Amino acid sequence: MNAPDKFAQLLSLTREPFPASTKNYITGSRPDLRVPVRDIALTNGEQVSVYDTSGPYTDPAAVIDVRRGLPSVRGGWIEGRGDTERYQGRPQQALDDGSKSEDAARLAVLRAEAAALQRAPLRARSGANVTQMHYARKGIVTPEMEYVALRENGRREWMAQYQQDAAREQRLAGNPMGASIPKIITPEFVRDEVARGRAIIPANINHPEVEPMAIGRNFKVKINANIGNSAVTSSIEEEVEKLVWAIRWGADNVMDLSTGKNIHTTRDWIVRNSPVPIGTVPIYQALEKVGGIAEDLTWAIFRDTLIEQAEQGVDYFTIHAGVRLAFIHLTAGRRTGIVSRGGSIMAKWCMAHHRESFLYEHFEDICDIMKQYDVSFSLGDGLRPGCASDANDEAQFAELHTLGELTQIAWKHDVQTMIEGPGHVPMHMIQANMTEQLKTCHEAPFYTLGPLTIDIAPGYDHIASAIGAAMIGWMGTAMLCYVTPKEHLGLPDRDDVKQGIIAYKIAAHAADVAKGHPGARARDDALSQARFDFRWQDQFNLGLDPETAQQYHDETLPKDSAKVAHFCSMCGPKFCSMKITQEVREFAAQGMQEKAEEFRGTGGQLYVPIQPAG
Amino acid sequence: MNAPDKFAQLLSLTREPFPASTKNYITGSRPDLRVPVRDIALTNGEQVSVYDTSGPYTDPAAVIDVRRGLPSVRGGWIEGRGDTERYQGRPQQALDDGSKSEDAARLAVLRAEAAALQRAPLRARSGANVTQMHYARKGIVTPEMEYVALRENGRREWMAQYQQDAAREQRLAGNPMGASIPKIITPEFVRDEVARGRAIIPANINHPEVEPMAIGRNFKVKINANIGNSAVTSSIEEEVEKLVWAIRWGADNVMDLSTGKNIHTTRDWIVRNSPVPIGTVPIYQALEKVGGIAEDLTWAIFRDTLIEQAEQGVDYFTIHAGVRLAFIHLTAGRRTGIVSRGGSIMAKWCMAHHRESFLYEHFEDICDIMKQYDVSFSLGDGLRPGCASDANDEAQFAELHTLGELTQIAWKHDVQTMIEGPGHVPMHMIQANMTEQLKTCHEAPFYTLGPLTIDIAPGYDHIASAIGAAMIGWMGTAMLCYVTPKEHLGLPDRDDVKQGIIAYKIAAHAADVAKGHPGARARDDALSQARFDFRWQDQFNLGLDPETAQQYHDETLPKDSAKVAHFCSMCGPKFCSMKITQEVREFAAQGMQEKAEEFRGTGGQLYVPIQPAG
């Protein structure tokens, strides 16, 4: 079949709602402020409502045409603020899709298909600053902030029982590790967190399709999935499908790390079809424009690329402005040197020219661009460790201190900022990363890649890193960049992306539970209750991946009757601990407690004669 | 194909050595003390040597006949101590293979096939105590202890470089969290750890095939894999194959949790073919003997089952003697009650009879049996939490305190003892488990199931629990019981067992690295060095699963030339951070450091004019 057919078929697969799930919306203070939730209907009549990243794709009522893009969510809000102007925009250039597009005919087709995705861009009116941080600092609660508050709270009603348990028993309280998590997130709280830089809402004014979300230590821990084409494999259709697939499984953000052909056109497709914030590493595209020769990069080319991508609607830029000339030699003794692509490009540039990084020198110029579009900084950790033995070294922390310094410059411009972190860090060295980041970066959100706790698990690095991710998430990291099973080995395919996301949903949720986010544990409790009640279907449907759970159950007990059976496949019908527990509970109700207390009253050592048969 | 053919075919698959690997032996103070290691030959001429659990199966020179069992490793040592006697043994009974063996003809075939596996059992001579703890306390260093010492150390020579790094940089030292890990494990150190109860060497005198290993906080963290038949599915052939498969991937211990048909015969097959210690939960078989009716259990039936299994060579018994009558009502308010099968059986028995547990009352009688065969206790946590909201509750800790009390009784008899632990525990509640266990159980080794950090990941509980397992392993747990992707859903198949083991090898290794076990990080360093040097084949071969790593790489870059390529599939040939780093290092060697210092000498703020083109 030809490529578009294949794409259509794939996409149709991923529009199905999750089992027993309905996409609903919580309406805010204005009718156009509608926050999605996924309501899961349980077989006992209860309803569990969960955070939903999947966008309109899982709404059967939504009409989706990837060649026209998603409907606008924020257009009216942006317009209503009256501080932006639509303009002609930067003319598209031949180099935007890379210097070596081997198949001009195919590119022409792709561009034509994406023609309906072209938008005249918005920018701040002269002298205006359109960042959420700017509004927050002026005391304005934007619709984006209200949206975030409603989204973080979700529907609280169904959690009441679980929250009562937590309130009653100190044992069930979390340990926030220094975070300040309120019981209810108010729009004002969101504003305050954004104003002080402790949270960001990545939301470029040219990405009105985005459903606003927050990244910050006092909100739920978020995850990011990377997608991207490549010089070696992949196609645009696959990349958009990866986006839809990634947000279906729970990616809160997606980074487009394309480095190959058709890079500009790919981005049009992704941004226009994305309900989640899109991040990029602009230096990758800039490098394509100079034929892959790092030393040929210039500020002019980089600046032009920033504007190109800001106009398209990219929500945050990874910028490795902390890779300073003076730090490069600190990596020379490392086991694996510089492993960040952006970091190594900038290191090479600095070395070739024997000059300070143009990103560092032009940092304020970059801020001037960011604030015209509300692009957030993701200050890249170009000197992050690439293996356990390079963790927490002088190079890494020298850069981190610089990122703290740059954070304050960004904040001077009211540009939203988060800080990228490692990487490869053994468990006992993780806390030091978080402590140092909080201190030197003034509580700007931390966004880490794992970290991987060991190096010997190629093929399973999603697990080796989920351990570190869960721990650092608990300690205060706001967003976790996923790692797939293909890390270090190859490009992730559809299933790898899913595996990486599920591993990171586990890590993020484990962190939320440990921090004691209000209601975080409620879904666990609902699932455990279903497990205890032998409501198999509810158990599947409340999990992160209902289909796989059901499939695993079916492999052992395929019959429908087993879905309501009061036993499970581990023990069989005769021998089931949960069944026995139910009987124990009935015994207990019949006065067992009194018997037991009577027993304990005698010191618990009462001699009981052994029966003849035993 | 018929069943034996299928088995033969499967088994032949799992006898292949790992890629580039050779099984070698380190010989101790006597020629029959030969400790296996797996030596991995790298393409740069180096050799990396790793701990090897796979037994003779990966030794091409070994002749394996599963119907005759493995050769004896310890027979001469046991005989040489002169404190045992061979005796007739308990006559086999019809009930030993379960009360409802539906297929008598098939059972007869299976028993006949296993006939050559029958052994007249050994027991301690009258008045003797044959436990490793007994010898240790008498100051005797047994061959088993020397074996363990050599095995824990492995070959140190190849680690020298990595250990120098660690010695030089405090940054790279681990945090042992209270453990006392020597640089070199001596046989005397092993003796001392066993004598004080801080480590066990599970090694029944009727399991001479076992390659001795230690479970203790100051040794490498070990993992256990569960296998077992079931009333619903499975066959003996599959079970033995699961054992071989499990130890191939790194299971240090295997528990046979069979509850279905042919339970005795299955065990003969497994024990005789196992180079790793085998644990069981004897109450499961006892329950089969009484037709699954918990209240019909008697001390006589249980005692008979203990002797039956001790004679077969089981190395440790899970015994839920801490489930006391007075604790049962403490579980009535739980969300998921009692989830341990053994715990719920004993609870039901106690409730039905309104009597104290016969396991608790007969604990000293049990010790008398254990010490005649050197079966170790794995004191079961029958009241472990079954979900996050039941974690660390009164029932759980009441039982743990009782296990501490029982530990001291076991130690009075010089019976080796470890303590089982949870289960389901959110991250912030894990440390309390370890602290409480160390305190109340006098540093007896802790052996935990996970713990699972969240409840919402059915299908992925190997990941949800690997997070908890890594953390509690770092904190001091000596052995981690694996969890497979099928946990809570169904019976694990071949691939599930592998997935569970790999996840737990990751957790155990992450714990060893964090604790700073001497040399633990050396394999990581060797792999990372290979990664940096683009020695792809070495990178695969040093990983936990070389085949999967290579397969993932091949999916993107299938050509052989890519295995020596100086780039990887993530970036393509033009754009590779590691390649750039190598160039950076060459620059650095050309006096970059001086340049950088000169730069820093000017305050690091040197103005550099921007070139016209940029």
pLDDT band at B261 (very low <50, low <70, confident <90, very high): confident
Instruction: Report, as an integer, the average pLDDT of A220-242.
Output: 76
Q: Does B537 touch chain A (CB under 8 A)?
A: no
- Phi and psi at A446, nearest 5°, equal -100, 140
The B residues from 235 to 274 touching A (CB cutoff 8 Å) are: 259-260
Whether residue B364 is predicted with pLDDT greater than 50 in this model: the reply is yes
Distance CA B253, CA B246 (A): 9
SS3 call for A227: strand
For residue A85, give how far its alpha carbon lies from the nearest alpha carbon of chain B (Å).
28
Q: What is the ipTM of this complex?
A: 0.93
Q: Does B96 touch chain A (CB under 8 A)?
A: no
- A148: which 2 tokens? 């975030």
Q: Cβ separation of B493 and A555 shorter than 8 Å? A: yes
- A284 annotated to bind ligand: yes
Distance CA B300, CA B285 (A): 13
Superfamily of domain A11-57+64-520: Radical SAM ThiC family, central domain (3.20.20.540)
DSSP annotation of B395 = H
Can you give the pLDDT at residue B611?
38
Q: Which of A50, A175, A453, A567 to mutate against chain B (most B CBs within 10 Å)?
A: A453
- B592: which 2 tokens? 């970059």
SS3 call for A293: coil
Can you give the pLDDT at residue A292?
87
Cβ distance B406 to B364 under 8 Å? no
Q: Does B485 touch chain A (CB under 8 A)?
A: yes
Q: Does B460 touch chain A (CB under 8 A)?
A: yes
List the single residue in A328, A574, A595 with the smallest CB-CB distance to B592: A328
Can you give the pLDDT at residue B251?
98
Provide the number of CB pairs (under 8 Å) joining chain A to chain B.
Answer: 487
Q: Cβ separation of A569 and B489 shorter than 8 Å? A: yes
- A279: which 2 tokens? 């991040």
Among chain B residues, the shortest Cα distance to A577 is held by B341
Cβ distance A511 to A222 under 8 Å? no
Could you read off the pLDDT of B458-480 as tens digits, one per residue? Answer: 999 999 999 999 999 999 999 99
For residue A514, give how far its alpha carbon lies from the nearest alpha carbon of chain B (Å).
5
Lowest-confidence region among A157-171, A449-463, B62-76, B307-321: A157-171
B-chain residues near A571 (CB < 8 A) = 230-231, 259, 341
Cβ distance A181 to A518 under 8 Å? yes
Q: Cβ separation of B231 and A544 shorter than 8 Å? A: no
A-chain residues near B343 (CB < 8 A) = 577
Could you read off the pLDDT of B415-436 as tens digits, one per residue? Answer: 999 999 999 999 999 999 999 9
Beta B222-227 vs B479-481: how paired, if at all?
A: parallel
Q: Does B593 touch chain A (CB under 8 A)?
A: yes
What is the overall mean pLDDT for chain A? 89
Can you give the pLDDT at residue A602?
46
Can you give the pLDDT at residue B425?
98
Q: Which of B428, B461, B592, B608 to mutate against chain A (most A CBs within 10 Å)?
A: B428
Q: Which of A2-6, A394-398, B291-295 has the highest mean pLDDT?
A: A394-398
Phi-psi region of B337 (alpha: psi -120 to 50; beta: other; left: phi over 0): left
- The model's pTM is 0.93
Alpha helix ranges (H) inside B24-117: 75-81, 104-113
Domain range list for chain B: 11-57+64-520, 567-601
Q: In chain A, helix, strand, coil percent, each to 5?
A: 50, 10, 40
Q: Cβ separation of A460 and B503 shorter than 8 Å? A: yes
Q: Does A162 touch chain B (CB under 8 A)?
A: yes
Distance CA B289, CA B287 (A): 5
Among chain B residues, the shortest Cα distance to A473 is held by B427
Could you read off the pLDDT of A338-394 as tens digits, one per residue? Answer: 999 999 999 999 989 999 999 999 999 999 999 999 999 999 999 999 999 999 999
Whether residue B560 is predicted with pLDDT greater than 70 in this model: the reply is no
Q: Does A170 touch chain B (CB under 8 A)?
A: no
Q: Does B68 touch chain A (CB under 8 A)?
A: no
Instruction: Report, as an integer, the average pLDDT of A531-543.
Output: 94
B-chain residues near A233 (CB < 8 A) = 556, 569
Can you give the pLDDT at residue B578?
64
Could you read off the pLDDT of B491-500 as tens digits, one per residue? Answer: 888 899 999 9
Could you read off the pLDDT of A126-172 as tens digits, one per residue? Answer: 999 999 999 999 999 999 999 999 999 999 888 877 777 777 788 88
For residue B304, give how far its alpha carbon lies from the nearest alpha carbon of chain A (Å).
11
Q: Does B206 touch chain A (CB under 8 A)?
A: no
Lowest-confidence region among B92-106, B171-185, B539-553: B92-106
List the single residue in A284, A340, A587 with the smallest CB-CB distance to B351: A587
User: Containing H/E element for B48?
Assistant: strand B47-51
List the single residue in B172, B232, B292 with the smallest CB-CB distance to A569: B232
Among chain A residues, the shortest Cα distance to B531 is held by A336
A-chain residues near B470 (CB < 8 A) = 427, 453, 467
Q: Cβ separation of B292 and A165 shorter than 8 Å? A: no
Closest of A425, A428, A470, A431 to residue B179, by C-alpha: A428
For residue B359, give how far its alpha carbon lies from the nearest alpha carbon of chain A (Å).
12
Lowest-confidence region among A206-215, A286-295, B120-129: A286-295
Distance CA B291, CA B602 (A): 86
Distance CA B276, CA B222 (A): 12
Cβ distance B456 to A519 under 8 Å? no
- A382 annotated to bind ligand: yes
E-assigned strand segments in A15-164: 21-27, 34-41, 47-51, 84-86, 122-124
A-chain residues near B509 (CB < 8 A) = 454, 456-457
Can you give the pLDDT at residue B429?
97
Q: What is the DSSP string of A137-199?
A: HTT---HHHHHHHHHHH---GGGHHHHHHHHH-GGG----TT----SS--HHHHHHHHHTTSE
Alpha helix ranges (H) inside B281-412: 282-289, 299-312, 341-353, 358-361, 363-373, 394-412
Q: Cβ separation of B467 and A466 shorter than 8 Å? A: yes
Cβ distance A326 to B600 under 8 Å? yes
Lowest-confidence region among A498-502, B61-65, B191-195, B538-542: B61-65
Cβ distance B253 to B276 under 8 Å? yes
Can you give the pLDDT at residue A597?
53
Can you give the pLDDT at residue B126?
96
Q: Cβ separation of B174 and A231 shorter than 8 Å? A: no
- A297: which 2 tokens? 């990069």
SS3 call for A311: helix
- What is the sign of the dihedral through the CA atoms of B296, B298, B300 and B303? positive
List the single residue in B338, B453, B503 with the smallest CB-CB distance to A584: B338
Distance CA B457, CA A443 (A): 31
Could you read off the pLDDT of A307-320 as tens digits, one per residue? Answer: 999 999 999 999 99
Whether residue A3 is predicted with pLDDT greater than 80 in this model: the reply is no
Cβ burial, residue A63 (10 Å; 0-12/13-18/19+): exposed
Q: Cβ separation of B580 and A347 shorter than 8 Å? A: yes
User: Containing H/E element for B599?
Assistant: helix B593-601
Closest of B370, B357, B439, B358 to residue B411, by C-alpha: B370
Q: Cβ separation of B581 and A339 shorter than 8 Å? A: yes
Can you give the pLDDT at residue B117?
86
Can you give the pLDDT at residue B553?
93
Q: Who wins on pLDDT, B165 or B400?
A: B400
A-chain residues near B428 (CB < 8 A) = 174-175, 474, 514-516
Q: Does A583 touch chain B (CB under 8 A)?
A: yes
Can you give the pLDDT at residue A165?
74
Other beta carbons within 10 angstroms of residue B478's beta carbon come to 27
CA contacts within 13 A on the Cβ side of A413:
24
Q: Does B589 touch chain A (CB under 8 A)?
A: yes
Distance CA B200, CA B215 (A): 5
Lowest-confidence region among A6-10, A580-584, B389-393, B589-593: A6-10
- A488 annotated to bind ligand: yes
Closest of A574, A579, A587, A584 to residue A534, by C-alpha: A579
The B residues from 272 to 311 touching A (CB cutoff 8 Å) are: 287, 292, 294, 297-301
Whether residue A180 is predicted with pLDDT greater than 80 in this model: the reply is yes
What is the overall mean pLDDT for chain B? 89
Q: Does B128 touch chain A (CB under 8 A)?
A: no
Whether residue B4 is predicted with pLDDT greater than 80 in this model: the reply is no
Lowest-confidence region among A478-492, A515-529, B167-181, B562-576: B562-576
Phi-psi region of A499 (alpha: psi -120 to 50; beta: other; left: phi over 0): alpha
Within 8 A by CB and 6+ apart from B196, the residues are: B443
Within 8 A by CB and 6+ apart from A85, the residues are: A122, A123, A124, A125
Can you give the pLDDT at residue B1?
35
DSSP annotation of A454 = -
Q: What percentage of residues in chain B have a pLDDT greater than 90?
A: 71
Binding-site members of B for [4Fe-4S] cluster are 568, 571, 576
Among chain A residues, the shortest Cα distance to B356 is held by A608
Distance CA A476, CA A470 (A): 10
pLDDT band at A523 (very low <50, low <70, confident <90, very high): very high
Q: Who wins on pLDDT, B585 or A34?
A: A34
Whether residue A13 is predicted with pLDDT greater than 60 in this model: the reply is no
User: Containing H/E element for B264?
Assistant: helix B263-272
Whether residue A94 is predicted with pLDDT greater than 70 in this model: the reply is yes
What's the longest Cα–Cα distance across chain B?
A: 97
